[in-house]
Amino acid sequence: MAVRARHLVMLSATLALLAGGASAQKQYGPGVTDTEIKIGNIMPYSGPASAYGIIGKTMGAYFRMVNDNGGINGRRITFISDDDAYSPPKTVEQARRLVESDEVFLIFGAVGTATNAAIQKYMNTMRVPQLFVLSGASRWGDPEHFPWTIGLQPNYRAEARVYAAYILEHHPNAKIGVLYQNDDFGRDYILGLKDVLRDNYDRLVVASTPYETSTPTVDSQVVAIKAAHPDIFLDIATPKFAAQAIKKLAELDWHPVHIVTNISVSVAAVLKPAGLDNAKGILSAGFQMNVTDPQWESHPGMRRFHAFMAKYYPGADRSDSGPMIAFNASTALVEVLKRCGDNLTRDNVMKVVADLDFEIDTLIPGIRIKTTPADFFPIEQVQMMRFTGEQWQMFGPILDGHAGQVAPSSN
């Protein structure tokens, strides 16, 4: 019996060594096991930016598709998405709950500039990845001070440079009126305009009127801007307020060159509520395939997107751009997690995120997701586009607005 006991002990020790060797090959952070990866998300399902709620719903559908196809390296995604009503104090509350109670691996794809800014220091102090923030504020690309935070879309300041360059080329002496949200979102666009207009900014911009997200309507701001008689109306607003501005211009029978930001180009969430006829001729810039543009219908990426939506989110409005935003962001996250392999630590996620170079086939061809440890702006190109009254149509070259002056992309 003593000999048999000794053999059992030796066998147990051998199994323990083997298990130890296996576990040494797998490194996990909070929220990760052999079978699960917990992903946190914060979304304005209610409040003034509730139009973005469809993004969170599409992300949930995307991860259901991922799980149906075996997960990521055999691990299922548990996606926990909480509502912050686009209110920074609520964002802080939800982030703490996700990190400290739900113990998620990371927070992904949260919407909003002020809301994400409210949790940026917390996420970096806690050393929890704040990945692919859905806001173009330039503050998400600061790896020196905030190494745990990264955006995804072209930053607002770079987008504004593209608009300013377009204005100088096509309307060099036009007067400009600006409506902007009074936070980092709006102020980034103002900085981008100044980057290009420089000493001519004060001469060309004849009205610059802010609004608060708590205001019920921007009608009075639009009236005030019209009174300055600008030739160009630059509409730096989130969907609810962009729709109000488009409708108000129609009521005033005012027809300036109208430019809206990329975050308010959704046909379903912005242009339909404003009136499609009222929106005809509006300009913007895009980086992803537009779901209303027939030129992409036969493209493999768009076919893949439509097949996903038909199976996993059939009730969504096909003209809403939100699902495509979610689809691209989720695709990028899955690529990052796949590249992590079995080293699913928070540190390794950020190492992978800081060394990306790949394409997603639902971005405009030629636009790549590319990062370095010193460059946390994954997408830096856009293309101008015009609304026909039915869909957006792209025109002109792909432009890179990240540099000091706007130039056609070398990609």
Q: What is the CATH number of the domain that holds 48?
A: 3.40.50.2300
User: Which percentage of the chain shows pLDDT scores above 70?
Assistant: 92
One domain for residues 307 and 391: no
- In a domain, residue 278? The reply is yes
Distance of CA 375 to CAs 68, 255, 345, 371, 401, Å?
A: 34, 40, 21, 5, 14
Does residue 26 fall inside a structural domain? Answer: no
Among 322, 299, 318, which residue's Cα sits nearest to residue 310? 318
Q: Is 169 found in the same domain as 148?
A: no
Are residues 161 and 272 both part of a single domain? yes
What pLDDT digit, counting tens, does each position of 221-249 carry? 999 999 999 999 999 999 999 999 999 99
**123-130: Cβ within 8 A, 24+ apart:** 123/95, 123/99, 123/148, 123/149, 124/148, 124/149, 126/99, 127/346, 127/347, 128/99, 128/104, 128/346, 129/105, 129/346, 129/349, 129/350, 129/353, 130/106
Listed in sequence order, the residues at least 6 apart from 36 whose beta carbon sits closer than 8 Å to its beta carbon are 75, 76, 77, 78
Mean pLDDT for the chain? 92
Shared domain for 374 and 352, answered yes or no, is yes
Do 270 and 179 belong together in one domain?
A: yes
- State whether the Cα torsion 244-250-251-253 is positive or negative: positive
Residue 370 lies in a domain: yes
Cα angle 373, 376, 382; round to 5: 135
- Quick check: 216 pLDDT over 90? yes
172, 320: one domain: no
- What local confidence, expressed as pLDDT, does residue 401 receive? 77
Is the per-residue pLDDT at 10 higher than 70? no
> What SS3 class is residue 407?
strand
116 and 161 inside one domain: no
Is pLDDT at 8 greater than 80 in this prediction? Answer: no
d(CA 270, CA 239) in angstroms, rounded, equals 5
Taking the chain, what is the end-to-end CA distance rounded to the nearest angstrom? 74
Q: What is the average per-residue pLDDT within 8-33? A: 64
Alpha-carbon distance of 183 to 169, in angstroms, equals 29
Q: What is the pLDDT of residue 409?
A: 53
Here the tokens at position 369 are 């997701």
Count of domains forming the chain:
2
Residue 281's pLDDT band (boundaries 50, 70, 90)? very high
| 31, part of any domain | no
Confidence (pTM): 0.82
Same domain, 305 and 173: no
Distance CA(50)–CA(174), nearest Å, equals: 35
pLDDT for 298-339, tens place per residue?
A: 999 999 999 999 999 999 998 898 999 999 999 999 999 999
For residue 141, give the amino acid letter.
G
pLDDT for position 22: 46
Q: So what's the pLDDT on residue 365?
A: 92
Whole-angstrom Cα distance, residue 31 to residue 94?
Answer: 16
Top pLDDT among 348 and 136 is at: 348
**Which own/partner contact pairs does 128-131 have at CB distance under 8 Å and 24+ positions apart?**
128/99, 128/104, 128/346, 129/105, 129/346, 129/349, 129/350, 129/353, 130/106, 131/106, 131/107, 131/333, 131/336, 131/349, 131/353
- The tokens for 332 are 């990028």
Asked if residue 80 and residue 143 are part of one domain, the reply reads: yes
Asked if the structure places residue 246 within a domain, the reply is yes
Q: Cα-Cα-Cα-Cα dihedral of 190, 401, 367, 358, to 10°?
A: -90
Residue 264 predicted with pLDDT over 80: yes
Structural domain of 274: 156-286+383-408
Residue 368 pLDDT class (50, 70, 90 cuts): very high
pLDDT tens for 45-82 read: 999 899 999 999 999 999 999 999 999 999 999 999 99
Q: Hey, what's the torsion of the CAs at 41, 46, 51, 53, to 10 degrees?
A: 30
Asked if the structure places residue 368 within a domain, the reply is yes
Cβ neighbours of 318 (radius 10 Å)? 13
Both 222 and 356 in one domain: the answer is: no
Is the domain of 280 the same as that of 169?
yes
Give a yes or no: residue 22 inside a domain.
Answer: no
Rounded distance between C-alpha atoms, residue 61 and residue 74, angstroms: 18
Is 15 a domain residue?
A: no
Is residue 185 domain-shared with residue 82, that is, in the same domain?
no
